[in-house]
Amino acid sequence: MYDRIKGFRDFYPGEMSSRRATTDVLEETAREYGFREIGTPAVERAEMWTDKSGDEIVDELYSFEDQSGRHVTLTPELTPTVARMVVAKQQELSKPIKWVSTRPFWRYEQVQQGRYREFYQTNVDIFGSSEPEADAEILAWAADAMTGLGLTGEHFEFRISHRDILGGVLESYDVDIDTEAAIRAVDKSDKISQVEYHDLLIDAGLSADQAAEFADLIAEGDLEAVKAFADTERVTAAVENLQNVLDAAEDFGAREYCTISLETARGLDYYTGVVFECFDSTGEVSRSIFGGGRYDDLIESFGGQPTPAVGVAPGHATLSLLLQRAGVWPEEEVTTDYYVLQIGDTRAEAARIVRDLRNRGHVVETDVAGRSFGAQLNYADSINAETVVIAGEQDLENDEVTIKDMESGDQTQVSVDAFPGDLERPTLSDFE
C-alpha cells in the first residue's frame, strides 16, 4: 500500500547484520586510534552549504522550510557540521581533536549501483594539527580499517595528491588559464578520450603543445619532475608536503597502499592540501570507494580560530561493493544460543531457565506464540538455535528437562537443578 521512497533502503536483519559488522570494524579501529565518538544532527541550516560549497552538493540538497520559516536541509555530508561544532567549543576542546561518527546522509542524486539518496558514512577527522603526521594518521586509520575488513593491498589503493600541485603547475604557465576548467578536465580525464581531454585543456587556455605536455606531466606523476617543471614556491611546498605525508605514512604502515596520482582532484571546494581517494585496484568497482583530505581553511571561514583539519569518510555503499567484489563481505549470521521449548503448561519453569541463561549473557528465545512442539522446533531451527531445552510436563514431574543438540539431533534428560546450574554455557556435551 505504501512504498519506500526511491534511493532509500530498508535493511532487514540479514543485510543489517552485514552493515553492522562493517561499521563495527571501522569504529573499533577508530577507537584504537583514540578517536572519540560524537553525535550530530540530521538537519542544519541550508546556508551552511548554499553560502559557499560546490554546486555539486547544492543541487542535490534535500532542503525545505521548517514550520518557523527556517531554510534547512538534510545534511549531505558531515564536514560543515563538525566544523561548526569545533567553532562552538574551540576554547574548551583540547587539541588535537579526534572525532569519529557513523550515520546517514542525504543527497538527491541519480540512483545507481552503490549510490543511494540515503547513504551511510563513517567520518573520521583530526582538528588542530597541520603536521604531515595528522594526514598520515588518517591514511593509516583508513588502511587499518580496510585490512581489518579483510581487504589487502591486492584489493585497494589510495590515490594521493596535493591540491596545490595541479593549480600550481597551471599557474606556472605564462598564459591566461581557466584553472577550474583545466582541473575539471583532469578530473574527467580517465572517463574521456585523450583527444577530448586535450581539447578541454585547450579550451581552458593552454596551447595544443602545452596541453599535451601538461597531460603527460600529470599522468606521469613524478614529483621531482613536477617540482622542476613548475619551479614555483607553491608547487615546491606542495610536493614537499606530499612527500612528508608519504614518509609519515611509511612509519605508520600505510605507505604501501598509496599511489601518487596527480589526477586525483577531490570535487569539494574546501580541500586545501593533501587529497586522496580509495579505488578498487582491479578497477572492477569503477567509481572512487571514498575520499578524504586536508581542509585547513574551513573552520576559520566558519568564524573560528584558524584550525587545520584533515579527515576521511568511507561510504558504506561503495565500500560494500568492494568487499563483495573481494569476497570478504561479512555474510549474515543469525545465531541463537538456546531455544527453550514449552510442552503443555510449563511456562513458569521454561521462563526460569530462559532468565537464568540470559543472565549469563546468552541469546535465548522461548515460545511467545502458543505454538505446537513441531512449530517451535522449526522456529528454533530457523533461528539456528545451538541447543534446545525442552521443558515438557512429564519430564518436569520428574524434575527433568531434555537438552537437545540441534546439529547432531542427540538429546538427553538432565535434572532441572543442573540446568544451567553452575555452568556458564551448558551444552549437551556437559551431560553426556
Q: Which residues are annotated as a binding site for L-histidine?
A: 77-79, 107, 121, 125, 266, 270-271
Of the candidates 26, 78, 79, 80, which one interacts with its own copies according to CB under 8 A?
Answer: 80
Q: Per CB under 8 A, does 10 bind its own copies? A: yes
According to DSSP H, which parts of 149-291 are helical? 163-171, 179-188, 194-203, 208-220, 223-230, 233-252
Going residue by residue from 282 to 321, which x/- string records binding to its own copies, judged by CB under 8 A?
--------------------xx------------------
The angle formed by the CA atoms of residues 316, 308 and 129, to the nearest 5 degrees, is 90
**Interactions with its own copies, residue window 221-260 (CB under 8 A):** 248, 251-253
Cell of 224: 621531482
Residue placing its CB nearer to its own copies in the complex, 98 or 198? 98
DSSP string over 145-156: HHHHTT--TTTE
Q: What is the sign of the dihedral through the CA atoms of 15, 21, 24 and 26?
A: negative
Span interacting with its own copies, options 82-90, 225-233, 412-420, 421-429, rule CB under 8 A? 82-90
- Single-letter residue type at 150: G
345 binds its own copies (CB under 8 A): no
426 binds its own copies (CB under 8 A): no
Cα separation, 99 vs 83, whole angstroms: 11
Q: Which is nearer to its own copies, 232 or 244 (CB)?
A: 244
Q: Which of residues 38-57 bind its own copies (CB under 8 A)?
A: 38-45, 47-48
Residue (181 or 351) nearer to its own copies, CB = 351
Decide whether 88 or 228 has the Cβ nearer to its own copies. 88
Q: Which is nearer to its own copies, 159 or 255 (CB)?
A: 255
Which cell numbers hold the place of 27? 569504529
Q: Does 336 bind its own copies (CB under 8 A)?
A: yes
Q: Are 198 and 208 in contact (CB under 8 A)?
A: yes
SS (H, E, C) 80-139: HHHHHHHHHCCCCCCCCEEEEEEEEEECCCCCECCECCEEEEEEEEEECCCCHHHHHHHH
Smallest gap, in angstroms, from Cβ of residue 355 to its own copies?
A: 6
Q: Does 175 bind its own copies (CB under 8 A)?
A: no
Rounded to whole angstroms, the Cα distance separating 218 from 263 reads 6
User: How many residues sit in the footprint of its own copies (CB under 8 A)?
Assistant: 92
Cell, residue 342: 514449552
Does residue 133 interact with its own copies by CB under 8 A? yes
